[in-house]
Amino acid sequence: MDKFVIHGGRKLNGSVKISGSKNGSLPVLFSTLLSDGPVHLSNIPTELRDIRLSLEILQSLGAEYQIHPDGSVMLEVTDSASTTADYEQVSKMRASICCLGPLLARRGEARVSLPGGCSIGDRPVELHTRGMEALGAEVRIESGYVVAKAPRLRGNTVYLSGPMGPTVLGTQNVMMAAAGAEGVTVIEGAACEPEVQATAGFLRAIGIVVEGDGTPVIRIEGHGRLGGDSCLAGCDYEIPPDRIETGTYLLAGAIAGGEVVVEGCRPSENSALLDLLERIGVPVEVGESTLTVRGVESVTPVDIAMLPYPAFPTDLQGPLMALMCLGRGVSLITDKVFPDRFNHLSELRRFGARIRKEGPSAIIEGGAPLSGATVMASDLRASACLVLAGLVAEGRTEVTRIYHLERGYERMEQKLGQLGADVEKMDEKIDEREMA
Ligand code: EPU
């Protein structure tokens, strides 16, 4: 198991290139099950664990793939017999529930393990299954699996918002199923996240008419039953840059810059973060595909809630909390998407941060000096939060279990190292021997 060892206090300067979007890639990868032709996907963050795992799942479902040296991936389905995604794989990554829609559309049935527990809180999938039922699938839960059958899917109007708002993966799952339905599907209460637009763009590239993505009402003209002679073409498709990685490096620059240029990003997808940074006194220069941020000693406290796009993203709640430790007063951060996503909170206290949790909120009394500590990463974005705190904490920080981080950030130690941070990836066991 690897860990990061960080010596805090170094100023970050220079530029960092943003990778392709993890959450933009995952449903697109599963959408390739719909197509019979070869698919070439560029700008895929192939070093991420979640991408590798998705490719393994696709292989188990009859797809062959090749990863090219330029980081692009070639995929082709050569065997459409299997309809099962098993617990071993799905339990490692919730996004694999996204095989449900394409398997139903292309193979008429699907047996996909229910994802199970998750360290960021309860993550049910009833909106996904309700959407499949609305398209005419018979769905039941059997021995921990979602078992769905639909000799024919028929377009329908589906409402996909739940108690916590729209569902991002649920919207994409139903879009993929609708691609193989007869007639038109209208998704109301759809998620508006840019990742949904990435899936819509891919579906258009393989010949499906999709309109309204990026708004709460999405219209999909189904191709009708897929298979045999009725198939969807292959395509070339480029994955957009990762807006959460973009936001994480912007926050790292705010905490520990110097001057950091975030390159190859889409600034408009981070409007809520840019607005917040301006309000709390962090200078950011916005270019066409670059964002330049300057570090600050302290920031104005905030009262902010994480909500569905275009509001402030829950995936940046942890990294933002690291910055708000530099607040000149008390900040309130509320997560309305995942109200229990606060694993990083007690670890931040180990740096000396003064934080407490009240319901879905964290109350941060800023200004306490942070000092390096050994902290444990427990999920992807909590890990990023702890690394950011380590950059500004005085002395040595160890962030253990960074395999969580590697699910969603490519070569973070190298990217931060190029900016001048002192971050080293180490094997936990080797270091223990050194310390003895
Ligand atoms: N929800 C339901 N019922 C459902 C589905 C969701 O009540 O059937 C609830 C969830 O419990 C949550 C809210 O709705 O409270 C939103 O969940 P959503 O379904 O939108 O989340 P997701 O699609 O499973 C994706 C991202 C997450 C990101 C969320 C919210 C991927 C692979 N995952 O998850 O990303 O936090 O949207 O934006 O796209 C991450 O990258 O670290 C990550 C967790």
The whole-number average pLDDT for the span 257-278 is 98
Q: What residues does ligand 1 touch, defined as CB less than 6 Å away?
A: 23, 26, 94-95, 120, 122-128, 162-164, 167-170, 191, 195, 314-315, 337-338, 380-381, 408
CA distance 319 to 256: 13
Q: At residue 436, does pLDDT exceed 50?
A: no
The whole-number average pLDDT for the span 331-335 is 98
Return the closest-CA partner of residue 347 out of 325, 368, 373, 327: 373
Q: At residue 432, does pLDDT exceed 80?
A: no
Phi and psi torsions of 407, nearest 5°: -70, -25
Q: At residue 149, does pLDDT exceed 90?
A: yes
Whole-angstrom Cα Rg for the chain: 22
The whole-number average pLDDT for the span 226-250 is 93
Q: At residue 116, does pLDDT exceed 80?
A: no
What is the per-residue pLDDT across 29-78, written as a single tens digit (0 to 9) for each?
999 999 988 999 999 999 999 999 999 999 999 999 999 988 899 999 99
**Burial class, 118, CB count within 10 angstroms (exposed 0-12 / middle 13-18 / buried 19+):** middle
The whole-number average pLDDT for the span 347-366 is 97
Return the closest-CA partner of residue 337 out of 317, 355, 366: 317
Name the more confident of 284 and 86.
284
Across the chain, mean pLDDT equals: 95
Q: Give me ligand 1 centre to Cα 270, in Å.
A: 18
What is the per-residue pLDDT across 396-424, written as a single tens digit (0 to 9) for each?
999 999 999 999 999 999 999 999 999 99
The whole-number average pLDDT for the span 220-228 is 91
The whole-number average pLDDT for the span 129-134 is 98
Coil, strand or helix: which one is 128? helix
Percent of the chain with pLDDT over 90: 88
pLDDT of residue 434: 46
Q: Which of 98, 99, 167 to mutate to test the pocket of ligand 1 (most atoms within 8 A of CB)?
A: 167
Return the closest-CA partner of residue 93 out of 107, 76, 73, 113: 113
Q: Annotated active-site positions, please? A: 118
- Residue 196 and residue 160 in contact, taking contact as beta carbons nearer than 8 Å: no
Q: Which of 31, 168, 409 to mutate to test the pocket of ligand 1 (most atoms within 8 A of CB)?
A: 168
Amino acid identity at 283: P
pLDDT of residue 89: 85
CA distance 57 to 54: 5
Residue nearest to atom 43 of ligand 1 (CA): 315
Fold of domain 22-238: UDP-n-acetylglucosamine1-carboxyvinyl-transferase; Chain (3.65.10)
How does strand 39-42 pair with strand 73-77?
antiparallel
The whole-number average pLDDT for the span 337-363 is 96
Q: At residue 433, does pLDDT exceed 80?
A: no
Q: Give me ligand 1 centre to Cα 282, in Å.
A: 29
Residue nearest to atom 40 of ligand 1 (CA): 315
Domain with CATH 3.65.10.10 in the chain: 2-19+242-435, 22-238
Predicted confidence band of residue 383 (pLDDT cuts 50, 70, 90):
very high
Q: At residue 289, does pLDDT exceed 50?
A: yes
pLDDT of residue 435: 46
Who's near 277: CB < 8 A, 6+ residues apart?
Answer: 250, 254, 284, 293
- Residue 251 and residue 322 in contact, taking contact as beta carbons nearer than 8 Å: yes
Coil, strand or helix: which one is 250? helix
CA distance 50 to 407: 5
Looking from the CA of residue 98, the nearest atom of ligand 1 is 32
What is the per-residue pLDDT across 157-199, written as a single tens digit (0 to 9) for each?
999 999 999 999 999 999 999 999 999 999 999 999 999 999 9
What beta strand segments (E) does 86-135 contain? 109-113
Length of the chain: 436
Looking from the CA of residue 162, the nearest atom of ligand 1 is 7
- CATH no. for 2-19+242-435: 3.65.10.10
Return the closest-CA partner of residue 29 out of 68, 56, 5: 56
